[in-house]
Amino acid sequence: MAVQEHLLTVVIEAPAPLDRESTTYRRLMSARLRWESEFTVRVVEEPLTTALITELCATVGSKYIVFVRQTHQITATYLPTLLKFLSSRTVYLAEPFKYTGAIPKQFASTSIDRNYHYTRDTDVYGVAFNVGRLGDVLDAIRDVDRTGVYLAYRLYWSINSVTPLEEGYSVSSDTSSAIGISPQPDVSRLVPLIPTPSSSMRLHLLRHLVLFLRGLRETERTDVTLDHLRGLVSTFDLTKNLDLAEHMHAFECAWIRWLDRPDTKEHLFKQLSDQDAYLVFDDAPHDQSDSRDRRDEGIARDGHLGESSDVVLHRIELGEETLTVVKSYLPRDLRPELDSPDHYDFYRRPITADSVILFFDRPMQADDNAEHLYAHFTAEHPEFTQAYFALNPKSPDWERLSARGFKLVPIFTPEFYELFLRSDLVVSSQIFNLRHQGKTLANSRFVYLQHGVQLNDMSNWVASKFFDVFVATGKVEADYLKTVAPVETLNSGLPRLQTLSRDSEGSRDLLFMPTWRFNLHQASPEHFRGSQYFQAINAVLTDRALLNYLERTDRTLHVKLHPNIEKRAAQFSFSRRVVRSELSYREAISAAEFVFTDYSSAVLDAAFVGTPIAYYQWDASDFFHEQPYESRLDYRSEGLGPVFTDHAELVVHITAERYAESDPEFARRSERFFEGVDTERINDTIIERMLSL
């Protein structure tokens, strides 16, 4: 161990070039005004691993060490508070309040309850470790991933409770809840199985296991064994607190119940009208086919089982074993809960003209599929007098919809939840984890309209959500969705497409709709301007040849920024001919002569009505490395417009007006992509299906 030179070493993880103008970095550096002799900063340009942390503990010259990722957020007094605390006593561990979202102004407002302990990020970041004690633990847990080091440290030293300092630290993202965690390939256990009486530790461990299982559904391969996972569940009695995880990770909760009781293979997942969807877990070896049930007979290459609607969702390798997870549809009368006196069957009431039906899009924004379906439904079926549209009263759409006669209800208020409880059907373009007095989307009717068309592989996300109907747009998307939801998929098309049309006046405007990059959420203005993302977009907006073309032909390029970029709009170089569009997506697309994007599925609305589209993918080689999903389509062979990776080629395509030239190949692809959608009956097709539930 190196001779102690400082009280604390701050390790900044910055795989990208260090953003020295970020708020987090500047706040760390500001502590030098008083505490410079007490701490030192070390930057690592690679992701932290257990091996790297072990190396750091052996080389840093300090008593304590804290790890900070440059995209995370800290308060202005975070580091001074840590230093004051550590300088006054010898401790094993010091930690702030930890959040995934914004840090509240008053930490006292944070309730240290079951929910806090479960949702608190349990990675190593933001926590000050005693270097000597951390080194001792690392000698014993080299086979544990970095994401489990904090938990292993507390288990090893029997640190059953920790009082947070009056400071805040935010990982600034809840992405792990959506995609889970994926440990390093050589990890063979999540944490040491050292029993603890701490209820808060058990909640932390449940969260860690849930996120591990979520990530495992993506990789489908781990050296962690089923025996270890079962030991984890039993040692810490993790099934006791599944109520905290159920609403966000029902799939993983079913998995944990199976780990606890492996003899019970079928676990109810989603109630449906005529049948129920179950998750079936089976770890029987392939050569013991007689011990497996009928679902393993005739498994097709596409994941379907024989002629039934059952589908294989996963085949996961855990060490030397293989776990098969099947989604199986079984008759509702097989469900024992129907006979329970404390269970209310929300499907018992049929949908009638007296039914409460609840529609909504985003809380602060309408003008999406739910609005358009609501307008059509109430016009064509006035007998349904209790159809409501939920929206935040502060939304700019509230007055507009009120003037149109929409029956509005403030979203996420007691009135909203009371309507949800009374409703026979929920219809939305968004999926929220609604829960009220025992009612959820798992045990009641829900029609999911989607916001857009799924071009990326979101199958694991789809498989984990609750819906009775999942609206698809065209055969390509419907075939993909049926691999995980064969019963629920409806190839009708999105409701807003029925109202979409090209501007009859023959608009000559062009439209650019770039999407977002997750790795730029917390970038400083200077770091953002230096990113490839900003430079590629701004180069289009300021291209001299393009500006001359727009001027010469009296055209305007409208730029529809992604909502995550709106706050950075001032950094882009807009001009008289290149303007930031404040129109709705539907209005902007309808008015455009040509639409192009990088990866956004929003351009498919344009393709649907025959407007030419194109893709400008300047970062095609590494775009999906930074995103929480993978593409399922080859844009070059299946896209509905040409793909450009070179700026100059895109500009030539526009200025030479090649976009206006008809291309039979793209017409053929478009016809196949939207196959099965009857433009004139999109809304009626959805309504017929939803009223039959």
Q: Cα separation of 314 and 292, whole Å?
A: 16
Q: Which CATH class is domain 356-493+680-691?
A: alpha beta
* Residue pLDDT, tens place only, 250-275: 999 999 999 999 999 999 999 999 89
How confident is the model over 238-257, as a mean pLDDT? 95
Query: Is residue 631 over pLDDT 90?
Result: no
Torsion of CA 28, 570, 171, 73, to 10 degrees: 20
How confident is the model at residue 295, as a pLDDT? Answer: 37
Q: Cα separation of 69 and 173, whole Å?
A: 12
* Residue pLDDT, tens place only, 600-614: 888 899 999 999 999
Q: Cα separation of 396 and 484, whole Å?
A: 37
Q: Cα separation of 366 and 664, whole Å?
A: 36
Q: Which residue bears the tokens 């003037």? A: 403
Query: Is residue 555 over pLDDT 80?
Result: yes
Query: Is 296 or 322 the better-scoring residue by pLDDT?
Result: 322
Could you tell me which residues come within 8 angstroms of residue 129 by beta carbon, excluding any fewer than 6 positions away? Answer: 64, 65, 66, 92, 93, 153
Query: Which residues, in sequence order, are bridge partners of residue 40?
Result: 9
How confident is the model at residue 341, as a pLDDT? Answer: 52
How confident is the model at residue 505, as a pLDDT? Answer: 58
* Start-end of CATH 3.40.50.11820 domains in the chain: 356-493+680-691
| Residue 332 confidence class, pLDDT cut points 50, 70, 90 | confident
Query: Is 587 or 239 the better-scoring residue by pLDDT?
Result: 239
How confident is the model over 315-321, as a mean pLDDT? 95
* 407 phi/psi in degrees, rounded to 5: -85, 95
How confident is the model at residue 110, as a pLDDT? Answer: 87
Could you tell me which residues come within 8 angstroms of residue 454 by beta carbon, excluding any fewer than 6 positions away? Answer: 462, 477, 480, 481, 601, 632
Q: Cα separation of 635 and 638, whole Å?
A: 5
Q: With CA atoms as reference, report the closest residue to 600 among 473, 453, 500.
A: 453
* Sequence letter at residue 384: F
Helix (H) or strand (E) holding 496: helix 495-499
Burial track 609-633 (b if 16+ CB lie within 10 A, e otherwise): eebbbbbbbbbbeebeeebbbeeeb
What does the DSSP assignment read for 422-475? HEEEEEESS----EETTEETTSS-EEE--SS---EE-HHHHHTS--SEEEE-SH
For 451, 615, 653, 658, the CA distances from 594, given in Å and listed in that order, are 22, 11, 11, 10
* Residue pLDDT, tens place only, 404-447: 999 999 999 999 999 999 999 999 999 998 999 989 999 999 99
CATH domain 502-673 topology? Rossmann fold (3.40.50)
* Start-end of CATH 3.90.550 domains in the chain: 6-258
**Percent above pLDDT 70 for the chain:** 92
Residue 437, sorted as left (phi over 0), alpha (psi -120 to 50) or beta, turns out to be: left
* Residue pLDDT, tens place only, 83-133: 999 999 899 999 999 998 889 888 878 889 999 999 999 999 999 999 999
How confident is the model at residue 299, as a pLDDT? Answer: 37
The CA-to-CA distance between both ends of the chain, in Å, stands at: 67
* Start-end of CATH 3.40.50.12580 domains in the chain: 502-673
How confident is the model at residue 503, as a pLDDT? Answer: 66
How confident is the model over 355-367, as a mean pLDDT? 95
Instruction: Give the three-state DSSP class for 280.
Output: strand
Helix 199-219 to helix 226-235 angle (10° resolution) is 160
| Residue 461 confidence class, pLDDT cut points 50, 70, 90 | very high
How confident is the model at residue 306, as a pLDDT? Answer: 39
Query: Is residue 297 over pLDDT 50?
Result: no
How confident is the model over 360-376, as a mean pLDDT? 95
| Tally of CB atoms within 10 A around 662 | 7
Strand (E) positions, 487-591?
A: 489-491, 509-513, 557-559, 578-580
> CB of 527 within 8 A of CB of 22?
yes
For 350, 423, 470, the CA distances from 388, given in Å and listed in that order, are 18, 10, 21
* Residue pLDDT, tens place only, 164-214: 999 999 998 777 788 899 998 889 999 999 999 999 999 999 999 999 999
**Percent above pLDDT 90 for the chain:** 73
Residue 220, sorted as left (phi over 0), alpha (psi -120 to 50) or beta, turns out to be: left
Choosing among 3.90.550, 3.40.50, 2.30.29, 3.30.1560, the CATH entry for 6-258 is: 3.90.550
Instruction: Give the three-state DSSP class for 558.
Output: strand
* Sequence letter at residue 416: F
Average pLDDT over all residues of the chain: 90
Could you tell me which residues come within 8 angstroms of residue 461 by beta carbon, excluding any fewer than 6 positions away? Answer: 178, 629
According to DSSP H, which parts of 236-357 are helical? 250-260
Query: Is residue 342 over pLDDT 90?
Result: no
* Residue pLDDT, tens place only, 463-516: 999 999 999 999 999 999 999 999 999 999 999 999 887 664 567 899 999 988
